[in-house]
Amino acid sequence: MKFSVIFEAQLADPTVEHEHQVVRDCVEQAVLAEEMGFDRIWAVEHHSLKWYAHMSAPEVFLGYVAARTSRIRLGHGVVCMPFRFNHPARVAERAAMLDLLSGGRVDLGAGRGGTEQETSLCGVDRDRTAREVEDALRIIGAAWQKEELEYHSELISIDPHPILPRPRQTPHPPLFLACSRAETLVQAAELGIGALVMGFAGPESIAGMRRTYDAARAARTGDRFVSTVVNDHFSVLCPTIVLDDRAEARRVGIRGQRFFAQSIGHWYGGAGIPDEAVVAGATGADEEAAMRRASEQVVARLHEQRIPVRPSATATFHADHAYGTAEDAVAYVERLRDAGADEIMCLIQMGTVPQEACLETLHVRDGVLGGAVGVVGVEGGRGG
């Protein structure tokens, strides 16, 4: 099993000073993650999503981290692939340059960036995003395996051009797709690429997603593969706060997750501006109750706007995650492993989580990677 850390660059009070600090904090965490033995970091790409994600240029962030590290893998989790966000040829060029300079450490994930807030910024046609993402993956796979790229479809036409430089990895960095629904899990399997899935709904939900992915893998014929190389890696996001004080870890983690859920709800479903207030002396039970109330508010707002309420709309409010001591976190990760996770993507940097708690979560204690929730403590994990 692999362990990684994913960065959104969230912040509850988005002043310029705080925004600059949170990006520097993410770099500090990424460098520490390598020192502590993590396998990979992931950086998202979002645009204009105040509070939720200030990571708008992950290629720059990952390039800076690459220069500060030597071993840890560098994941785009994910690049917004619709053409008006990023032309596929430019994605291939940038990712290859990063792979070359980092010594072959890049992983490349694709996603839609589908909020109205984001698509309106760049003039993206939301009705085309799913098809453009698949075209982009096909273009990138071809660009890295042929002397000249030529591609023609209903959506885009590229006459023969060399795409330079070539990546360090042969034939190219592993490809992934962000998967939040059964349809995208099936798509990832049929395209022959890895799945990046949200783990908020818990191990039972993850087990069902893994069954969907595996069934599609078993049924595929290979005619839709985007590359000659198949990547069947199944990565699961896991909210994670590990401290010596179990109660404090749960309070900090659930509070951070509530901010995450409210801020994403604001942009995806009109759930209102995130509640930035942290009640002095609040307990984990207080935070769980506040999370339930926030979930009810999201559902009510979605109903008001006549937006269908799917499980994914409220899964982010589920509070049972890797919060607690290292032993608590290991036990939870064992459940995710048994559900089919090949990789645990630790979500530590949530908007209200202080840097001190992020760094403590990442540190090795007693032979166990605190933030990686038991690299040594979980059977089948890699050595710390």
Q: Up-side HSE of residue 90: CA atoms within 13 Å toward CB?
A: 10
Rounded distance, CA 233 to CA 4, Å? 13
Q: What average pLDDT score do residues 342-348 get?
A: 98
Q: Which CATH architecture does the domain made up of 2-244+317-369 adopt?
A: Alpha-Beta Barrel (3.20)
Q: What is the pLDDT of residues 239-283, one digit of tens each?
A: 999 999 999 999 999 999 988 988 887 887 665 666 665 545 567
Instruction: Please state, rounded to an integer, the average pLDDT across all residues of the chain.
Output: 90
> Higher-confidence residue: 307 or 41?
41
- Taking the C-alpha atoms of 275, 276, 282 and 283 in order, what is their torsion angle to the nearest 10 degrees? 70
Rounded distance, CA 69 to CA 103, Å? 11
Q: What is the maximum alpha-carbon separation in the chain?
A: 63
Task: Enter the tokens of residue 356.
Answer: 């001190």
Residue with tokens 């792979």: 99
Task: Enter the tokens of residue 305.
Answer: 């706007």
- Whole-model pTM? 0.91
φ/ψ bin of 275: left (φ > 0), alpha (ψ from -120 to 50), beta (otherwise): beta
Per-domain boundaries in the chain: 2-244+317-369
DSSP 98-143: HHHHHTS-EEEEEE----HHHHHHHT--GGGHHHHHHHHHHHHHHH
Can you name the residues that pair with 242 across neighbouring β-strands? Answer: 324
- Taking the C-alpha atoms of 337, 343, 349 and 355 in order, what is their torsion angle to the nearest 10 degrees? 90
**Tell me, what DSSP letter sits at residue 278?**
-
Instruction: Identify the band that residue 298 occupies on the pLDDT scale cut at 50, 70 and 90.
Output: low
Instruction: Identify the band that residue 373 occupies on the pLDDT scale cut at 50, 70 and 90.
Output: very low
pLDDT at 118 over 70: yes
Q: What average pLDDT score do residues 70-98 get?
A: 98
Instruction: Report the alpha-carbon angle 129-226-114, nearest 5.
Output: 15
φ/ψ bin of 78: left (φ > 0), alpha (ψ from -120 to 50), beta (otherwise): beta
